[in-house]
Copies of this chain bind each other. A is one copy, B any other.
């Protein structure tokens, strides 16, 4: 399957088409709006479902298989900010705190992008390690912590008032709602394994793809409402939001292979490395680095990188994986 077939296969999936529909809704100023509680409910469902499924998969596969690639994913997440920071600071001329904030977002991950990728693999009948969710779970926090430290170092400690303490950052990075749900559901799934899965499968697994499609309709609107901010972020960040994911995607795939994953798992590792957080990181950063400008990190991760990955990135990372594995 050529890269073009791969991409068009992705573009014609319900998930991506609903995402596009959401973009159109925002651009045509339709009064269609998902109430925030619905957005939260869908997020909770997706995170719990993917976490639980991953936990069961770990119970099935055994931790022995999982720990090495999981560790690799974690380290990669922690390292990414270390090179993105200077790129932003000196290449993009961003202030220390803004560079650190953006770096944290690109080191962390987007659960929805990951989920969309698993859907894509399912659609093209490409098997993958179900326990890959574990990588998602461990990759979310490290980059946030590294980013906050970079930001604090970059700004005179005195600058920040007591409420934006490192403690806040650590608490958010470990107990923030998305991380907590994901890790928690993963542990629950791990503990109850297959028998537990049989009980809840018809709620957490069967309707999953449909729920994702509905959620991406909303995400399309959310991203679409921010397209206007693109001019605020400037050409550098636009380029950064597309080029960096491609680089990180390749690194992720390569690392996945080195860590002994199959084609599917390596693709997902690439997707994780390439994705930028827009739930966990913004919350943690806003609370612990309030001097960073959200217009930069939110717009780039939400209005540039997220749509790019959903539409084009995922099949591209898969092609990269194919190239690595054949």
Say whether A203 contacts B211, CB under 8 Å.
yes
**Given A12-B191, A14-B192, do A123 and B35 touch, yes or no (CB 8 Å)?**
no
- Judged by a CB distance under 8 angstroms, whether A158 is at the interface is no
Q: Which residues of B contact A2 (CB under 8 A)?
A: none
Binding-face segment, A36-44, A66-74, A133-141, A306-314: A36-44
Within 8 A of B (CB), among A11-40: 12-14, 17-18, 21, 24-25, 28-38, 40
For the complex, give the distance between the alpha carbons of A180 and B17 in Å: 14
**Copies of this chain in its oligomeric complex:** 3
For the complex, give the distance between the alpha carbons of A242 and B198 in Å: 32
- Judged by a CB distance under 8 angstroms, whether A227 is at the interface is no
Say whether A207 contacts B203, CB under 8 Å.
yes
- Min CB distance A243 to B, Å, is 30
Q: Which residues of B contact A208 (CB under 8 A)?
A: 203
For the complex, give the distance between the alpha carbons of A310 and B38 in Å: 28
- Judged by a CB distance under 8 angstroms, whether A175 is at the interface is yes
- Min CB distance A161 to B, Å, is 20
Picked from B36, B52, B176, B180, the residue with its CB within 8 Å of the CB of A35 is B36
Within 8 A of B (CB), among A40-92: 40-41, 44-45, 48, 52
Say whether B31 contacts A192, CB under 8 Å.
no
A-B residue pairs in contact (CB < 8 Å), sample of 12: A12-B191, A13-B199, A14-B200, A17-B191, A30-B175, A31-B176, A33-B177, A35-B40, A37-B38, A38-B41, A200-B210, A201-B210
Known contacts A14-B192, A48-B217, then 8 further A-B pairs from the complex at CB < 8 Å, ordered by chain A residue: A12-B191, A17-B188, A18-B185, A18-B188, A29-B175, A32-B181, A38-B44, A206-B206
